[in-house]
Amino acid sequence: MAGFADLTVAQSCRVIGFESARIDAGFVNGFFLTVAGTKPDLNMDVDLRPVQYIRQPEYWAWEVVGCMNGIGLPTEAPFAVTVELRGAVGTKGIEVVGAGSKKRFDITLGS
- Please report, in tens digits, the pLDDT of each residue of the chain (111 residues total): 568 778 788 889 999 999 999 999 877 668 999 999 999 999 999 999 999 999 999 999 999 999 998 887 789 999 999 999 988 999 999 999 999 999 999 987 654
Tell me, what's the pLDDT at 109? Answer: 66
How far is Cα 14 from Cα 21, in angstroms, rounded to an integer? 18
**92: DSSP letter:** S
Tell me, what's the pLDDT at 26? Answer: 76
How far is Cα 30 from Cα 110, in angstroms, rounded to an integer? 9
Tell me, what's the pLDDT at 4? Answer: 77
**In this structure, how many other beta carbons lie within 10 angstroms of the beta carbon of residue 76?**
12
Distances in Å between the Cα of 17 and the Cα atoms of 20, 29, 45 are 10, 29, 13
Tell me, what's the pLDDT at 110? Answer: 58
